[in-house]
Amino acid sequence: MATQMGSEEEFKSTIAEYLESLPAQFCRRVFSNPAACLAIFRLLSTVGKHLVMSMLYLDSAIKLQDVYQWAKPDHQPLVRSKVHQLRKLQILTEERGNVSLSPVFREQLRNALTGGGDFSSFGIPFTGAVSGRVSKKWLASYANDRWEAILHFMVGHSADAEPPSESVRGILRMSRLMEDSAEGMKITNSGFQFLLQDPSSQVWTVLLQYLRLAEMQEMDVVEVLNFMFQLVSLQLGRPYSTEALTRNQQKMLAELCSFGLLYQDSVGAPQFYPTHLITSLSSGSASHSAPLSTSGSAATGRSAIPAASKGELAKPSDQGFIILETNCRVYAYTQSALQIAILNLFVHLVNRFPNFITGALTRDSVRRALSRGITADQIITFLTTHAHPQMQGRTPVLPITVTDQIRLWEQERNRLRPTAAYFYKDFGQKAEYERMFKYAQDIGVILWASNEKRQLVVTRQGHAKIAELVKSQRAAAAAAAAAAK
């Protein structure tokens, strides 16, 4: 799993894959909760969502063929695949050619939209006295500090800071982002890829790993999943009560606190706060949009608000600090050791000033990154999301020459593909060569051949068959020779 790094979309689909792998009765239990239904619904593709919504208020089942007919002719395969996906997720059930939404899912999604059902599923707000020190801003800096401390630990710049807790290290180890070595824990190639992702993808990875961990510790997966889906629907900056949580969920709470996804005043305190790292999961990709401004006051000047709240919640380093020139030079306005370490993965750094570094993308530096398993797309995505505001306004954000060059450097590495093969040469007679060539061609095993030199390269599977042919021919020839004598 840890090797499947990529865009955020991929992560969402892996969460969906995880749900698909659950047995039916598990799914039903997960669906019995409006918050979970809403969160799962949001993981679906746009067309999938629309199919669900179209059927949500249909009381009777409809023909599967009719559902396919909703699509325009050239989009039929797309809709078919989405229907298939919904069925794998157990959201759609089929009976004798008729499909309908799973009754539990339908009821709970309706509840989520209309406000009913299990009322604790969206979190129980804490009503007791709270300390005034926890504001949105404070939570943001707390979460960023915690999260960056972990990333620092991964890149090995944490000599001055204390290492993260055992559970954090456990998850890092289990997801193979880091591994144990003689001198403590060491980052792996997939760890490098992890660093390049945007925060919400990183959080998804951690949550997914947490699920696996829970499975291994034989915790109830449904409990963990429900709590997770509840967490992503919580409201930033508001205290929630821990009262109704089960023991496993309490445990999970404590562990997610150590990642900075949640905040608790003290261990066992009756309230907890979600931070923007986890609430932004439900509001789209966190790297671009700040947590959604949903309160009535914040929504007045909609267009202006996201930028403002982004500035409030994100550190300056998150706002975009990289300038990339067409000549592959990179200028980065940052003092964060973490950002510099990440840039160092694929940039040849030249100068460092108090708040500014310069460097260049070179063939060697990019190839070094590629050899660590980082893909060209990851580099390009990273540069795009962290581009300086002055570059953000342009389309495309990065100079095409540079992105093309990075992709070319990646392709360069893929020029050679090793295949196990057998080399035939020194054929005595032309006819023998041609017979062999023809046979190899018929069974399609030729990798390379030269008629002039009478040389032939075939795959390993082909060799076995050719050897048989040769053997049988030799035997036939010997038999014929013996008969002639």
User: Applying CB under 8 A, does 371 fall inside the site for other proteins?
Assistant: no
Cα–Cα distance, 483 to 485 (Å, whole number): 5
Which of 39/171 has CB closer to other proteins? Answer: 39
User: Applying CB under 8 A, does 35 fall inside the site for other proteins?
Assistant: yes
Select the residue interacting with other proteins from 47, 168, 380, 398 (CB under 8 A). 47
User: Applying CB under 8 A, does 5 fall inside the site for other proteins?
Assistant: no
Which of 320/462 has CB closer to other proteins? Answer: 320
User: Applying CB under 8 A, does 396 fall inside the site for other proteins?
Assistant: no
User: Applying CB under 8 A, does 229 fall inside the site for other proteins?
Assistant: no
CB atoms within 10 A of CB 31: 25
N- to C-terminal Cα separation, the chain: 67
- Largest Cα span, the chain: 110
User: Applying CB under 8 A, does 193 fall inside the site for other proteins?
Assistant: no
For 244-270, give one letter per residue: b (16+ CB within 10 A) or e. ebeebbebbbbbbbbbbbbbbeeeeee
Which of 4/69 has CB closer to other proteins? Answer: 69
Q: Residue 57 is encoded by which pair of tokens? A: 């208020």
Nearest in space to 386 (alpha carbons), one of 434, 346, 438, 334? 334
Residues 304-333 contacting other proteins, CB under 8 A: 304
Cα–Cα distance, 274 to 142 (Å, whole number): 11
User: Applying CB under 8 A, does 302 fall inside the site for other proteins?
Assistant: yes
**Interface with other proteins by CB under 8 A: which range of 140-148, 285-293, 351-359, 444-452?**
285-293
Nearest in space to 131 (alpha carbons), one of 274, 312, 271? 271
User: Applying CB under 8 A, does 382 fall inside the site for other proteins?
Assistant: no
Cα–Cα distance, 444 to 435 (Å, whole number): 14
CB of 30 to other proteins, least distance (A): 17
E strand or H helix at 338, and its extent? helix 337-343
- Which amino acid is it at 289? S
**Interface with other proteins by CB under 8 A: which range of 140-148, 187-195, 294-302, 364-372?**
294-302
CB of 243 to other proteins, least distance (A): 13
Give me the residue label for tokens 């829970």: 214
Cα–Cα distance, 52 to 480 (Å, whole number): 74
CB of 75 to other proteins, least distance (A): 4
**Interface with other proteins by CB under 8 A: which range of 295-303, 369-377, 407-415, 471-479?**
295-303
DSSP-assigned letters across all residues of 427-445: -SSHHHHHHHHHHHHHHT-
Residues contributing to the site for other proteins (CB under 8 A): 34-35, 38, 41-42, 45-47, 49-50, 53-54, 56-58, 69-72, 75, 78-79, 112-117, 119-120, 122-125, 233, 235, 282-284, 288-289, 292, 294-297, 299-300, 302-304, 392-393
